[in-house]
Every structure is written in C-alpha cells, then in structure tokens.
Chains A and B, each alone.
Chain A
C-alpha cells in the first residue's frame, strides 16, 4: 500500500527546522531528515548525547527553543539518515526521496520537498594543502564546539570572513598558540566603510564580533590584512607554513614571504552552497556571485524550476543562519498554503511579517559576499600541486586538459577524472572552475557546474539491493528525544 507524504525536508539545520515548524504549525504532516544523530545542522550542532554542558548563552537558548518546537505531533524526525537521490514519484505530481539510514534503504513518496542541506567550507589549493593537519575552519569549529577538542598547539589560520574569525577566537580561548590570522580579502577596509548601514539591527552579530576582537586583543594576535598562505610542507603532516602579502589582484608579492613552524593550518575561505541534490534532480541553476556560485533558481516562494521542490537556506545561496531561518519559515508557510492549510490571506500576512527581516538579512548576506568571497590568486604554484584529492589529479593535468580544448568543468572531469571520486567534486569543483577561468581568461561562470548522479553519497550495494519503495513498515521514525 502506498502512502503519499505531504512534505519531506532534507536537512535539519536553521532553514529545515524553521520550515518544519512553520509547515507543521499550519497542519502539514512533515518528515524532517538529517544525517546526524540529533537535529541542529552545523550552526546549531548539539553536543553528543553523552556530553553534559552548562552552556546557557543566547545561541543555546534559541537553539533549544527550536528543538522544543520540533516536538510536534505533525513532525517526524528521521536522524542518521542520508538522502542520496530524488526521483519522480509513482503518482502524477509526486516525488520519491531515496534514503539510507539505520534500517537500510527506502524511498518516500511525497507531494513536496524542501532542500535545506546547507553549505560546506570552500577550499583553496596550494602546495601541501592536502597534508594531514591542514583542516577547514568548519572542521576546527566542529572539533572545538562539538567535541571539545583542540586540533593542534601551534596554528596558522588563512582565509576570509567571519568563519575564520570565529575559529581563531575559539582556538585562542581554548589555549592554542595562534601564530597568525591571515585575512586575504583586500576589500575589507576599502569597501567596509560604505557598508556600515547594513549593520543596522545586527546587534547580535556586532556583539559576537566584539567578543572575538577582545580575544584577539588579549592574546595580542598577529592579525594580518591582505595576506594569504602560499604553501605548506612537512613529513607525514604539516610542519611549516609559508605565507605572503597579496597585491590588489590577489597575487603574492615577491619578497614578502615568511615561514612559520606550525602543527596545524586552518583554512576559512567562506562556504560553497551544497547543491548536490538540486543539480541531481536537476533544478535549473543560476550563477550568484555573492552567494557562492551556481545555486537553484527560485521564485518568490523559494520553489525551484521543478514544481513541488523548494530550496531554503545556504543550499540555495550562502547567506548565514538568520537568513536561512527566515527563508525556512516562508518556505514552510508557502507549502502549507499550496496544500490548502493556509489561505492566501494568511500566507500573505506571514510574508508581510517576514519582509523586514528577509530584506535586512539579504542585505547583510550581500555585504559578506562582497567583502569575503575573495580568494588569493595562487595560480603560479607548482604544477604537481594536487587539485582533486580523491582521484589525485594535479594542476598540470588540469592545465593539459584545458590545452586540449576543455571549455567547462565537465570537459575537465571527462578528460582527467577530477571530481569522480568519493566526494563527487564537492572539494575540487570550485577550484577547477577557478583554474579554468584563469587559464581561458573567461568569467568563472562560463565553466558551468558538474552534473551529479545518484547516489550523491556512496551507499553499500548490499543496502541498495533491499531498496524498498512504498513499504511504510520499513520507516523507522526516530521518536526519541530531540536534544
């Protein structure tokens, strides 16, 4: 017997949780899926269940409010479950969401889907970036906040934007020796002043920034503006990091190089929207420079080009948690209206209520995108530098593919196998797009984006063999505590 679900939400972070709460409070039956053991996503990541903390700050208070609203009879939370594909459903106008979790592989048929699977750290490549001990800012923050673990003792940070600022402050406060924080963006001071109005009504963010600033002043942190890491070296793990001052185009200035002994390097070059699912469906994509590149095109209700599939939060363009939450609430309400739970007047009233915060957060996201989407131009690095880690494809191999006539990232994938390993290009696709743009002297969007095929994450064949669709009994919904 088949059950057609009303709404499946992929990702229980800020956008997914708010969408679930908004839709469920209007009466929609929601399934909220996340790959972690507990909801929260990266931003509201909860401590592991066996850990106990007395943390009571406002960030925690807000998170706990969200978790308590998830305990709604209309919301079923499926944790430790990954979504590896989206296909047309068996009935007209429905979709099938293919999952893999503790009880195996099964498909859920649903009328509506919200993609809310967030973003992940963007990489830069340079000789030695693949050495053990070189990690992303997101990785450092997860170790610190989720595991209460210090990734190293002597640490260099290089990156751009607030994520690396947060990572640096946490590392310092936790007792690491931060040898330097390199902010690569040359636009910070130059453009920063005219963006001051965008800070209106951003008191929480100002307070957060001032807190970090206090840590840097107290620790006399060597915070360098307009600098970037250029290479790392070491035997078996990173031991030295070399960095240089950048000119206005982002090129290292000869003669400014310095080298420091380190045991860890943290890279924080903003985020890539996670578009694996929207590209797989496929949804029509559009290039948004200020939001991290190609993202699904959406209408005013955040519906993609595929009827019934919506996208909210960072997976539709990096904009931060507050924007994701607003988008989540609007998307959940839009679907409640579509399914007949809210009248057009009720939906319009919700949109009107959210209009102010939506505009404010979009403005702030644009500012961050402009100030911090900068990456250094390290294209003079050695040809042996690995670009695609999974398949171990070097810069020289990618250049050779371009010399053969490759015009797009897909051409380069077809020629070199870059992006065909376990991570499916999540790490290297933006690097390769950058190399292609540089070599062919075209804008980065001219190189296009990689198509994705199911499964978007590896799934054991033994689990796929028992794939069940329409078998409700196989759905083991995690009804336990959400905290």
Chain B
C-alpha cells in the first residue's frame, strides 16, 4: 500500500512520474523510482517465485539483495532480484510461478 504522507514525521513526499510496466502480460501503472518488488506488492502479488526443489512459494524477505527469495524475470532475463531492480517505462516483469520456473 503506497503511503502518501507520513503522519507524525511531517514529511511530504512526491513520487516520480507515472509510468506503465507490464506484469505477467498486463499493463499496470507505477511510479518512477519504485522497485519491481514495490510494484508487485502494490498489485497484490505476494508469491514471486516457486522454489524448484519443493514447489513452495517464495517472496520478498530481506529487501536488501541478500536472501534471493524475490527472483523474477525482468525484460526476459530470469532470476533477477525484484528488491534490487528499479522499474523503467515499459518494463516487462514476470513472476516465476509457472511450469518453467
């Protein structure tokens, strides 16, 4: 859920301009400066990757590039860390939850 203001911290924030990205084939609107993980979370997508050893769901955990649980396919490149990648206009993001993942 995007926060517009931070009550109690008296800080006003403006995001980057609105840009489209494509998530699993569907166009959605996001903001410049957002991480792939943020946009996926905002769209209600929590399972980002299926662990190939067990078929268990994997998702965001550390948000600092350490745990490798948030791997998704970005612009055709597999196993990119959603928490370390900033979006760009027209970025194609696919969760690794299908048969091939």
Contact-residue size bin, chain A (C-beta under 8 Å from the other chain): 35 or more
Task: Decide: A51 and B15 in contact? CB cutoff 8 A.
Answer: yes
Q: Which residue in chain B gives the minimum CB-CB distance to A36?
A: B84
Known: A147-B38, A149-B38, A153-B1. Contact between A389 and B51, CB under 8 A?
Answer: yes
Known: A50-B32, A51-B16, A52-B14. Contact between A148 and B2, CB under 8 A?
Answer: yes
CB neighbours of A389 from chain B (8 A):
51, 58, 61, 67, 69
A198 close to B (CB within 8 Å): no
The 9 closest A-B pairs by CB, nearest first: A50-B16, A48-B33, A132-B59, A139-B63, A422-B68, A50-B33, A50-B32, A132-B46, A392-B53
B57 close to A (CB within 8 Å): yes
CB < 8 Å neighbour of A151 from B13, B35, B41: B41
Shortest C-beta distance, A240 to chain B (Å), equals 15
CB neighbours of B25 from chain A (8 A):
none
- Further pairs besides A132-B57, A389-B67, A427-B67: 7, Cβ < 8 Å: A121-B64, A132-B60, A148-B15, A149-B1, A174-B3, A389-B61, A421-B68
- The interface bits of chain A over 3-22 (1 if a CB of B lies within 8 angstroms of the residue's CB, else 0) are 00000000000000000000
CB neighbours of B54 from chain A (8 A):
386, 392
A477 close to B (CB within 8 Å): no
A27-B48 Cα distance, complex, nearest whole Å: 47
Task: Decide: A423 and B68 in contact? CB cutoff 8 A.
Answer: yes
Task: Decide: B7 and A175 in contact? CB cutoff 8 A.
Answer: yes
A432-B100 Cα distance, complex, nearest whole Å: 31
CB-contacts of A356-374 with B (<8 A): none
CB neighbours of B69 from chain A (8 A):
130, 389
Task: Decide: A53 and B46 in contact? CB cutoff 8 A.
Answer: no
CB < 8 Å neighbour of A138 from B46, B64, B68: B64
Task: Decide: B64 and A139 in contact? CB cutoff 8 A.
Answer: yes
A451 close to B (CB within 8 Å): no
Task: Decide: B34 and A147 in contact? CB cutoff 8 A.
Answer: yes
CB neighbours of B34 from chain A (8 A):
48, 147
CB neighbours of B86 from chain A (8 A):
37, 48
Chain A facing B: main interface SS:
loop
A150 close to B (CB within 8 Å): yes
- The interface bits of chain A over 399-428 (1 if a CB of B lies within 8 angstroms of the residue's CB, else 0) are 000000000000000000000011100110
Task: Decide: A133 and B59 in contact? CB cutoff 8 A.
Answer: yes
Known: A54-B12, A237-B47. Contact between A142 and B64, CB under 8 A?
Answer: yes
Q: Which residue in chain B gives the minimum CB-CB distance to A47?
A: B33
Q: How many A-B residue pairs have CB under 8 A?
A: 148
CB neighbours of A288 from chain B (8 A):
none
Task: Decide: B47 and A236 in contact? CB cutoff 8 A.
Answer: yes
Q: Which residue in chain A gives the minimum CB-CB distance to B8?
A: A173
A149-B53 Cα distance, complex, nearest whole Å: 31
B65 close to A (CB within 8 Å): yes
CB < 8 Å neighbour of B51 from A48, A149, A392, A423: A392
CB neighbours of B71 from chain A (8 A):
422
Shortest C-beta distance, B63 to chain A (Å), equals 4
Q: Which residue in chain A gives the minimum CB-CB distance to B7?
A: A173
Task: Decide: A149 and B66 in contact? CB cutoff 8 A.
Answer: no
CB < 8 Å neighbour of A51 from B13, B61, B63: B13
Task: Decide: B3 and A136 in contact? CB cutoff 8 A.
Answer: no
Task: Decide: A51 and B62 in contact? CB cutoff 8 A.
Answer: no
Task: Decide: A53 and B51 in contact? CB cutoff 8 A.
Answer: no
Shortest C-beta distance, A440 to chain B (Å), equals 27
CB neighbours of B51 from chain A (8 A):
389-390, 392
A55-B13 Cα distance, complex, nearest whole Å: 8
CB neighbours of B56 from chain A (8 A):
130, 386, 392
CB neighbours of B3 from chain A (8 A):
144, 148-150, 174-175
Task: Decide: A147 and B35 in contact? CB cutoff 8 A.
Answer: yes
A42 close to B (CB within 8 Å): yes
Q: Which of A120, A148, A174, A386 has the largest count of B CB atoms less than 10 A from its CB? A: A148
Task: Decide: B61 and A139 in contact? CB cutoff 8 A.
Answer: yes
A348 close to B (CB within 8 Å): no
Q: Which of B16, B33, B64 has the largest count of A CB atoms less than 10 A from its CB? A: B64
CB neighbours of A135 from chain B (8 A):
60-63
A389-B59 Cα distance, complex, nearest whole Å: 11
Task: Decide: A149 and B63 in contact? CB cutoff 8 A.
Answer: no
Shortest C-beta distance, B12 to chain A (Å), equals 5
Shortest C-beta distance, A125 to chain B (Å), equals 12
Task: Decide: A35 and B65 in contact? CB cutoff 8 A.
Answer: yes
Provide 7 A-B residue pairs closer than 8 Å at the C-beta atoms, listed in order of the A residue.
A52-B13, A132-B46, A136-B63, A139-B60, A173-B6, A174-B7, A237-B47
A249 close to B (CB within 8 Å): no
CB neighbours of A426 from chain B (8 A):
66-67
CB < 8 Å neighbour of A148 from B7, B13, B79: B13
Task: Decide: A143 and B67 in contact? CB cutoff 8 A.
Answer: no
A37-B83 Cα distance, complex, nearest whole Å: 13
Task: Decide: A138 and B53 in contact? CB cutoff 8 A.
Answer: no
Q: Which residue in chain A gives the minimum CB-CB distance to B4?
A: A148
CB < 8 Å neighbour of B11 from A55, A391, A427: A55
CB neighbours of B42 from chain A (8 A):
149
Task: Decide: B68 and A35 in contact? CB cutoff 8 A.
Answer: no
